[in-house]
Structure 1
Amino acid sequence: MKKIIRYIGVMAALCAALIVLTSCGAKPLSEQNVLTNSEKSNTITWGVKADTKLFGLMDIKDNRIKGFEVDIAKALTKQVLGSKGQAKFVQVTSQTRIPLLANGNIDGIIATMTITPEREKQVDFTNSYFDAGQALLVKKGSPIHNVKDLNQKGKTVLGVVGSNSVENIGKYAPKARLLQLSDYAQALTALKSGQGDALTTDNGILYGMAAENPGYVVVGGTFTEEPYGIAVNQGQTEFRQSLNTALAKIEKSGEYNRILKKWFGNVPGFNYEEAKR
């Protein structure tokens, strides 16, 4: 019995020492070389939206996230890791995407994330993979025709927490009241229930909402330029460069345009010819 107790004690001490050594010697996931780790695991883990039609939306029939950004991520993964490379997807929101990246839970963010100077202080971006512009979604027949109309007394515009579209409204419609929701699904529900006069975000996202909700339309054209980039942790230069190379390859091969046409080719109001590369 004493031998068993002594054995257990020794093993416990070894385990404790191993934990200490591991915690002292190993770098946090966010500081490790993402490209090297991805090549070893043959997997890239992507943060994607799951509430944004056309870009990334959960299909309740098979519980898979589907959309333009998901397909682009799959194509880039094959370019970086080879034909057997696997793309893994983690659901993110505008609020959670940067923290999840910083913690090492995901390798890259491809989630309608506009390249901005403020965000570049926190992450590094690839080249743009989609050029959007901020617009407005309103109910058909609404007196709101453009962003300036939101300056009328008592007008409320709906936005999403963590999105730079919220900041832009302060510049273009400073007199408007702003109501922020946690995600696009809640924002659209608020618009339908009359809690706001317009919902604002990037036009590509709004076209997806309009396509699914015929009683609502995108109005006024775009009043900002919103280039989407893939975000990676700062210092992951090799990984970012490999993604830029992969993006250039799928654009040159025509794969990018095939994916774009699949998701946006028949969307009313979306200019596919202008957006293709």
Structure 2
Amino acid sequence: MTRSVFSHGRLAAAVAAAALVLAGCGGGGGQGDAQPAATSGSAVSVVNAGKLTLCTHLEYRPFEFRDESGKLVGFDIDIANMVAQGMGLAAEAEVVDVPFEQITSGAAMAAGRCDIGIAGMTITPERANAILFSDPYFDASQALIVKQGSGVTNLAQLKGRKLGVQTDTTGQIYAQDNAEANGYEIVVFEDLPTSVNAVKSGRVDAAINDNGVLFDFAKQNPDTEVVAEFNTGEHYGIGVRKDTGQALVAEVNKVLTAAREDGRYDESYKRWFGDLPQTGVEPAPGMTGAPTG
């Protein structure tokens, strides 16, 4: 998922302020003041002894969401569990649901709420000023979803209409960058489910977000369809605390490499994505370095 961009000074201030708020209100059980506990399987420290704790932002199917039984599942959850197992920790990572901007700003990790942030998060220069990123683990682009049979197949056909976006995402930035040229009105939603369900209800005429989540939604909701992709060349990464995360990110990268080599990555990818429907991928008008969700 892609989210908002701050100037360097504002970003640093936001990280510091958010970290103080999280620690002050006892976020994560007061872990912000606690010394991290060392893992049993490596020299890397973790905030909760014996387990990997991850921050994410729900729901973002098929990356992180609750299944019918209420269990947290998804591609990102699989990846996080691979990292936990590779580090000799409990087989299932502990999940903390936080606002997306607390992950991209680094505030959640700085406050000791989690060890890693994994949330369909595009690597951008702005975010890399606040958190330390792993190697890329997923490629993404922006896509356009509409109601089946709407006749809309591109942004130009939305002139005078409403386009839904998820707040603080690269999809929002992409929509803003192209709004003047295409003449649509942007409607901002707090999360993915409300934005795509607004397409179903007719509240907006289309929505833009990362291609993986929109193809999944269209598969689950055949009264909608993905009609275009925009080749924005985005790559998801796992974020860790900027100042102290070097050893942890090295462990994460080791696991990502091993999982690709031994087939675990492909197995999980096929489980959640299979063969995505193909649409014509339009060259994207210039991106501004904005994040995706």
Q: 2:83 aligns with which of 76, 81, 85?
A: 76
Q: 2:250 aligns with which of 237, 241, 244?
A: 241
Give the Å deviation of 1:256.
0.3
Q: Structure 1 residues 39 and 119 mapped into 2: Cα distance closer, same or farther (>3 Å)?
A: closer
Paired with 2:157 and 2:110, the residues of 1 have a C-alpha distance of 39
Which position in structure 2 is the counterpart of 1:204? Answer: 212
1:161 is matched by which residue type in structure 2? T
1:243 is matched by which residue type in structure 2? V
Q: 1:37 aligns with which of 30, 34, 45?
A: 45
Give the Å deviation of 1:244.
0.8
1:1-277 matches, within 5 Å, as 28=32, 36-38=44-46, 41-61=49-69, 63-81=70-88, 84-98=90-104, 99-150=107-158, 152=159, 154-174=160-180, 175-235=183-243, 236-265=245-274, 267-269=276-278
Give the Å deviation of 1:40.
7.7
Give the Å deviation of 1:192.
1.8
Q: Structure 1 residues 31 and 221 mapped into 2: Cα distance closer, same or farther (>3 Å)?
A: farther
Q: Structure 1 residues 33 and 232 mapped into 2: Cα distance closer, same or farther (>3 Å)?
A: farther
Paired with 1:155 and 1:67, the residues of 2 have a C-alpha distance of 33
Give the Å deviation of 1:186.
1.1
Point out the structure with max Rg over C-alpha. Answer: 1
Write out per-residue CA displacement over residues 58-103 of structure 1, whole angstroms, 9 at most, x where no aligned residue: 1242x21111111111112111226x55411112343443432332
Write out per-residue CA displacement over residues 188-234 of structure 1, whole angstroms, 9 at most, x where no aligned residue: 22222222111111000101111110111111222312211001110
Give the Å deviation of 1:125.
0.8
Write out per-residue CA displacement over residues 151-206 of structure 1, whole angstroms, 9 at most, x where no aligned residue: x2x12111111212111112233332111111111112222222211111100010
Q: Contact 1:159–1:166 (CA<8 Å) still a contact in 2? A: yes
Q: Contact 2:47–2:53 (CA<8 Å) still a contact in 1? A: no
Q: Structure 1 residues 41 and 193 mapped into 2: Cα distance closer, same or farther (>3 Å)?
A: same
TM-score by length of 1: 0.79
Q: Contact 2:200–2:224 (CA<8 Å) still a contact in 1? A: no
Q: Contact 2:32–2:113 (CA<8 Å) still a contact in 1? A: no
Structure with the largest fraction of helix: 1
Give the Å deviation of 1:104.
1.7
Paired with 2:92 and 2:61, the residues of 1 have a C-alpha distance of 23
Q: Structure 1 residues 121 and 148 mapped into 2: Cα distance closer, same or farther (>3 Å)?
A: farther
Q: What is the total number of aligned residue pairs between the two structures?
A: 240
Which position in structure 2 is the counterpart of 1:275? Answer: none
Q: Structure 1 residues 143 and 40 mapped into 2: Cα distance closer, same or farther (>3 Å)?
A: closer
Paired with 2:266 and 2:34, the residues of 1 have a C-alpha distance of 32
Give the Å deviation of 1:243.
0.5
Q: Which moved more, 1:73-82 or 1:226-235?
A: 73-82
Paired with 2:110 and 2:76, the residues of 1 have a C-alpha distance of 21
Q: Which moved more, 1:190-199 or 1:108-117?
A: 190-199
TM-score by length of 2: 0.75
1:203 is matched by which residue type in structure 2? N
Paired with 1:163 and 1:30, the residues of 2 have a C-alpha distance of 32
Q: Which moved more, 1:102-111 or 1:90-99?
A: 90-99
Paired with 2:129 and 2:157, the residues of 1 have a C-alpha distance of 33
Give RMSD over aligned pairs.
2.4
